[in-house]
Amino acid sequence: MKEKPYVVFTINDGGKEESYNVDLEQLRTIVKNASIKDETLNLNLSFNGEILPLKFKKSQLLELIKKTDLKKQIVPKSISNYLVDLTRLLSQKQSTPIKGRDDEIEKVWFYISQKRRNNVFLVGGTDVGKTAIAMEIARQISTNECPKEFYDTRVMMLRPELILKIKNEFALKIVMNKIMEFLVKNKNKVILYMDKAIYMKMDEYFVMMFYAFITKYNIPIITTSSEEVFEEHFFQENIFSKYVNEVYIEEPELEELQPMLQSKIVALQKEYGIKISDEMIKFGIFTSSLSESVSLNPGNVLNIFGKSFLEAKRKGKDYVDKKSVLSCYNSYLKLYSKITLEDKKIIAYHETGHYVAQIMSEHMEDVKIAFVSILPMMDFLGVNSTYRILGKNLNYTKEYMIDWIAVFLAGRVAEKQITDKFSTGASSDLEMANMLAEQMVMKYGLLSDAKDQNRCYVTGENISKSYLISEKKKQELDSEVKKILEEAYKKAEKIIAENKYLLDSIANWLVDEEILTGEQLEIICQICNEEKQGQIAENKEKE
């Protein structure tokens, strides 16, 4: 005879702790029969022949019931290697909620709540956080933070990589049949999760099973995919396309990364016994684009922090410092070590020119500087890393676009201050400046000729409508592009000339520090402004 499941209550009575076992079903019935409005329940439960009055919050009792339920393994042992109860697993360890993905998580709950077509493909790049969202769904169920209809649900993770290692086809068929039988039997109590949706197409058993789950049994499914795989194998595939829902997981904005990674960074501090300051966390996030993946995806940035903590530990440091973070970019540092001091100075002036033009712009208030670096990255000798304030500017005027072009041209203007000549280092800047100027003329109608201000000479794919453009019109349009570039260049020259002291100061700091964050640059700007104002006041006194 099976022992009835029970909930353990530990009660402190005058400093003495007593544990009592309460029948799980008895407690479940009491909570179920309680009024919806009741937040606190008065319980008179029988313990070993005596009646003990207790008062609990309903949420506490639901949590106790959930914890007791999750102790039970419901997956048959014969398939437990291939089907993992994620909800049960997460309930047994301390886990923290993820941050910054509330909208995406809400969409997942919406889709899997549907009676039909209750599946969701989390689509995005590597390390963007697709798996973390699926894990968060399981975590929320384990703590009753999920929608009420999922309180008694469990997330089951299918492990196709292990299933496909079964070489005997008959043994494989038996395992697949048992998995399918279990999931269909418990279809109202499970959500199926599988990392990498492409596994659905790698074996005929998987194709048939998932097609049945999606079209016949309506078992809630969460899976992940890259954009390329989703577009090719599911979105355009007739068998699946009309049955699937997708949620695109985008790369987060710079300012979203720190709260998103905070709990992971705290865990790294505990693991290595090393501290890290908020300033260094920002430095690590801002400079993560120097890594070979050039990605702000949470997984890539977290990998940078993991290496930084390891390096600090290896060097016997108590804190993660700048050198610990920069050690993650060895391939670029090797190249940097071979650059002469004179060339470093030229790069510093070039990058500072971009920065000064940016902060002195009259119209680009939605753009912020994350950091400026003279360390090589990919094909660039230096970097101005920027990010936009979401919602700050939704439409771009002609003046905004000219300021933007001026920022691209300001690098070579500043570089010329110390070399008195141009170099090929501005090739990508020129490409971007010309592209923006051409778009202003050809696509947006932001040109001086009134008769062409309502014309668009490119298709939606930015392909030139050559049938509309005569040789004479080409010359006219090219003349407009030249006017825009000349105006932007003169603006860049004016900004650099008027801020020569600031340009020199930041460039010298860059040569010494190699990387300056946005906050550090603002401090330098403030100091330079105070010095400039002091000099003006001193000159007035002399007069």
299 or 105: which leads in pLDDT: 105
**pLDDT tens-place string over residues 448-492:** 777 777 778 777 677 777 777 788 888 888 899 999 999 999 999
| pLDDT beyond 90 at 182 | yes
- The helix (run of H) or strand (run of E) holding residue 241 is helix 238-241
User: Domain residues of the chain, as ranges?
Assistant: 6-70, 77-248, 254-335, 339-527
Query: In the predicted model, what is the mean pLDDT of residues 504-511?
Result: 94
Q: Considering only 68-72, 75-79, 84-88, 250-254, which range has the smallest mean pLDDT?
A: 68-72
142 or 293: which leads in pLDDT: 142
Q: For position 36, what pLDDT does the model report?
A: 58
> How far apart are the C-alpha atoms of 306 and 323, rounded to whole Å?
14
DSSP state, residue 489: H
Query: In the predicted model, what is the mean pLDDT of residues 150-173?
Result: 91
Contact assessment for residue 423 and residue 415, using Cβ atoms and an 8 Å cutoff:
yes
pLDDT band at 110 (very low <50, low <70, confident <90, very high): very high
3-state secondary structure of 46: strand
Q: For position 291, what pLDDT does the model report?
A: 65
Q: For position 488, what pLDDT does the model report?
A: 95
3-state secondary structure of 414: helix
Q: Hey, which residues does 123 pair with through a beta bridge? A: 225, 248
Percent over 70 (pLDDT), the chain: 83
Q: For position 3, what pLDDT does the model report?
A: 56
Residues contacting residue 29 through CB under 8 Å, at least 6 positions apart: none
**pLDDT tens-place string over residues 29-67:** 766 666 655 566 666 665 556 666 666 676 666 776 677
Q: What backbone phi and psi angles, to 5 degrees, belong to 97? A: -70, 150
| CATH no. of 77-248 | 3.40.50.300
Q: For position 360, what pLDDT does the model report?
A: 93
Nearest-10 crossing angle of helices 254-272, 278-286: 120
386 or 508: which leads in pLDDT: 508
pLDDT band at 10 (very low <50, low <70, confident <90, very high): low
| pLDDT beyond 60 at 1 | no
Domain spanning 339-527, CATH architecture: Up-down Bundle (1.20)
Per DSSP, the residues of 105-140 read HHHHHHHHTSSSS-EEEEE--TTSSHHHHHHHHHHH
Query: In the predicted model, what is the mean pLDDT of residues 309-327?
Result: 91
| pLDDT beyond 90 at 426 | no
Q: What backbone phi and psi angles, to 5 degrees, belong to 45? A: -105, 150
Q: Considering only 62-71, 147-156, 353-362, 461-470, which range has the smallest mean pLDDT?
A: 62-71
Query: In the predicted model, what is the mean pLDDT of residues 263-268?
Result: 90
> How far apart are the C-alpha atoms of 182 and 161, rounded to whole Å?
19
| pLDDT beyond 50 at 123 | yes
**pLDDT tens-place string over residues 217-231:** 999 999 999 999 988
Query: In the predicted model, what is the mean pLDDT of residues 309-325?
Result: 92
Query: In the predicted model, what is the mean pLDDT of residues 164-186?
Result: 91
**pLDDT tens-place string over residues 329-351:** 765 666 677 888 888 999 999 99
pLDDT band at 106 (very low <50, low <70, confident <90, very high): very high
Mean pLDDT taken over the chain: 84
> How far apart are the C-alpha atoms of 455 and 445, rounded to whole Å?
6
The count of C-alpha atoms lying within 13 angstroms of the C-alpha of 195, restricted to the half-sphere facing its C-beta, is 17
Query: In the predicted model, what is the mean pLDDT of residues 140-162?
Result: 90
Q: For position 292, what pLDDT does the model report?
A: 59
Q: pTM to 2 decimals?
A: 0.70
